[in-house]
Chain A
Amino acid sequence: MQSALVVVIMSFIVFSGVFLVGDPVEILVSDDADQEEREMMIKSMGLDKPFLVQYGIFISKAIKGDLGDSFVFQEPALLLILDRMPATMELAIVALLIAIIFGIPLGVWAGLKPESLASKSIMTGSILGFSLPTFWVGIMMILLFAVMLGWLPSTGRGDVQIILGMPISIFSWDGFSHVLMPAVNLALFKLSMVIRLARAGTREVLHQDYIKFARAKGLKETRIILIHVMKNILIPVVTVLGLEFGGLVAFSVVTETVFAWPGMGKLLIDSIGLLDRPIIVAYLMIIVFLFVLINLLVDICYSILDPRVRLQDIKS
């Protein structure tokens, strides 16, 4: 219910925001078109009507799943974006996995031995990951690994395989080598975040009485860390990461542009250049939708991980 309201409000903000940005007619209509052609064009795109009427038409169509046709491609905007979505999702998911697989062990390690040199280097690295701009790191990676060393390709998706009706790169070596650099680039920020969360969580949990009690039971240190500590820090890490997954998709705009990754972020940037309103609106709506969906999924994961939440759910 609440989620539906969020979607509606966001649709209005998005629509009016795009409305204010600029007039697409100037870009789309060729200079030598006469007044009549110009007017016809405006009419066919529905741009002659007042703002609120345009919004009304947009909403009534949107409910039926029609987010308008692209001005440029003359195709449904939604389809154009959904077509590009698997590429972006693949990139975001691989980035998320990188952040989890490397972030949690590094963060726990840093939390266990806060004074050691290794853990101090990890923390310094995570500050860099936070503060260096994604596009700059991306360009540097291309310079180093593609141009100078020639190890990895710098653009495109490489070989794709159709899996469950979607083109996926990661399952072929060529595709994987194409995903690797953009995914790492996209992951850096989240990786730093996971490291910090895992470290803070570990340090806090380690001082709890129940860890000492686990030691008093004579458990091995590995079991204490892998079960007793890990299960507790997974709660904040999963929550935050889940919520940030939407951000990962949104941020992929930059990475996709740098690595010419044919995902929906790149489509967005191209469309902004052309002021292709329906695509911009459709993209933003999809992102809003995604965020709402992710919130729901995170709530579910959270209750699986934390028994205290589960009980309340059953009660209510």
Chain B
Amino acid sequence: MPLSESPTIEVKDLKTYFFTKGGIAKAVDGVSFSVGRGKVLGLVGESGSGKTVTGFSILGLVDEPGRIVGGEILYRGENLVSASPDRMRELRGVNISMIFQDPMMTLNPVLRIDTQMIEAVLAHESISKDDARQRARDVLGQVGIASPDERLRSYPHQFSGGMRQRVAIAIALLNKPDLIVADEPTTALDVTIQGQILYEVQKLCSQTGTALIWITHDLSVVAGLADDICVMYAGRIVEQGSVNSVLDKPMHPYTNGLISSVPSRNKRGVPLAQIPGMAPSLLKLPKGCSFGPRCAQFSDACDSIPDISNYENGRQIRCHNPLDKGTILRVMD
């Protein structure tokens, strides 16, 4: 990325907390990353690590009792954390769109697909209904839905989960956004369709310069799709860098654990490695490093929360005992 071009989205020290009866759940606690034009960022982590909340924070859709309590979200330099609700509405669906995690729940069951697609266009542009319908039809075709005309007149329950997710993806693409937050969009799809959609999305991003945040559990998807990767654990990013360098040479023990638990052809017959223990509850985080209790590298130093250290190739790690010690460039405070 040339220095002159500022990133499409830049998240700086984002903190989104949920003020629940049981205490404060720090679902996102000091997350920073940026995605440039046409780039793909893979956001991976176990269930409950705060990936979805990060996505909702960017769209300004964090529900009660949650609140963004700190940090900045800069969309082309504009801070969304302090943007007015009207401004956020203007941006949502046109500049920034999101594909939700659960395709069975994202479409309104009592409205036809055409209603739900056309309204998404008309909310932002004053064009005729026919033009909006035409665009809806084209985009449905793009995501691989056959006979889109007929499909437009259907209701969500007439679609399978995979088809619904394609409709949701189509809706996200309708207004050619600059940034798409895709929350595990292909988990519900079978492998061939998953490949097809990944291909489509990748093509679209490189053609139109759309920045993409791709949230997933699946490291193999990230490997094929993303430029950069952020590994989240209990609300914090524990490791980030370019996909190739992180997957080739993981430095955080958690990343390493994730990678070794992915089945691979080269290791056939060898039992899969597992990360011992369970992801901690956000209300009862360990005192120091939140991964500490599950970590093989645990040392006394881990009783304090590790800072982010910068390594070569722009890699950042939050760990006192990284696996493959390179040269620490600088410790951030």
Q: A: which residues have CB within 8 A of B?
A: 207-220, 223, 227-228, 231-232, 235, 305-308, 311
> Does B91 make an interface contact (CB < 8 A)?
yes
Known: A213-B100, A217-B92. A308 touches B157 (CB 8 A): yes
Number of B residues with CB within 8 Å of any CB on chain A = 31
CB distance A210 to B109 under 8 Å?
yes
> Does B111 make an interface contact (CB < 8 A)?
yes
CB distance B108 to A210 under 8 Å?
yes
Residue in B92, B98, B119 whose Cβ sees the most chain A Cβ within 10 Å: B119
9 contacts between A and B (CB under 8 A): A209-B102, A216-B93, A216-B97, A223-B123, A227-B111, A231-B108, A232-B108, A305-B110, A306-B110
In Å, the complex CA distance between A227 and B89 comes to 17
> Does B129 make an interface contact (CB < 8 A)?
no
Given contacts A210-B106, A213-B171, A217-B123, could you give 10 more A-B pairs where the C-beta distance is less than 8 Å? A209-B106, A210-B109, A212-B61, A213-B98, A216-B61, A218-B89, A218-B94, A219-B119, A228-B108, A305-B110
Least CB distance from A143 to B in Å reads 45
User: Of residues 149 to 208 in B, which have CB atoms within 8 Å of A's CB atoms?
Assistant: 155, 157-158, 168, 171
Least CB distance from A83 to B in Å reads 42
CB distance A215 to B61 under 8 Å?
yes
Considering only CB atoms, which chain A residue lies closest to B98 in the complex? A216
CB distance B157 to A307 under 8 Å?
yes
Q: B: which residues have CB within 8 A of A?
A: 59, 61, 63, 89-94, 97-98, 100, 102, 105-112, 115, 119-120, 123-124, 155, 157-158, 168, 171
Considering only CB atoms, which chain B residue lies closest to A228 in the complex? B108
Known: A213-B100, A213-B107, A215-B61. A223 touches B93 (CB 8 A): no
Known: A212-B63, A218-B120, A218-B124. A308 touches B92 (CB 8 A): no
In the assembled complex, which residues on chain A have CB atoms less than 8 Å from the CB atom of B94? 218
In the assembled complex, which residues on chain B have CB atoms less than 8 Å from the CB atom of A227? 111, 115, 119
CB distance A218 to B92 under 8 Å?
yes
Contact of A308 among B109, B123, B124, B171 (CB under 8 A): B109
Which 3 residue pairs are nearest across A and B when measured between Cβ atoms? A218-B93, A209-B105, A218-B92
Contact of A231 among B63, B102, B111 (CB under 8 A): B111
In Å, the complex CA distance between A305 and B107 comes to 16
In the assembled complex, which residues on chain A have CB atoms less than 8 Å from the CB atom of B59? 216
Known: A218-B93, A219-B120. A213 touches B168 (CB 8 A): yes
CB distance A232 to B110 under 8 Å?
yes
CB distance A228 to B111 under 8 Å?
yes
In Å, the complex CA distance between A219 and B97 comes to 12
In the assembled complex, which residues on chain A have CB atoms less than 8 Å from the CB atom of B168? 213
CB distance B120 to A217 under 8 Å?
yes
In the assembled complex, which residues on chain B have CB atoms less than 8 Å from the CB atom of A219? 89, 93, 119-120, 123
Least CB distance from B161 to A in Å reads 13
Considering only CB atoms, which chain B residue lies closest to A210 in the complex? B108
Least CB distance from B333 to A in Å reads 35
Residue in A215, A218, A227, A231 whose Cβ sees the most chain B Cβ within 10 Å: A218
In the assembled complex, which residues on chain B have CB atoms less than 8 Å from the CB atom of A211? 108
Known: A307-B157, A308-B155, A311-B157. A214 touches B92 (CB 8 A): no
In the assembled complex, which residues on chain B have CB atoms less than 8 Å from the CB atom of A217? 92-93, 97, 119-120, 123, 171
Least CB distance from A3 to B in Å reads 28
In the assembled complex, which residues on chain B have CB atoms less than 8 Å from the CB atom of A232? 108-110
Least CB distance from B323 to A in Å reads 38
Least CB distance from B111 to A in Å reads 7
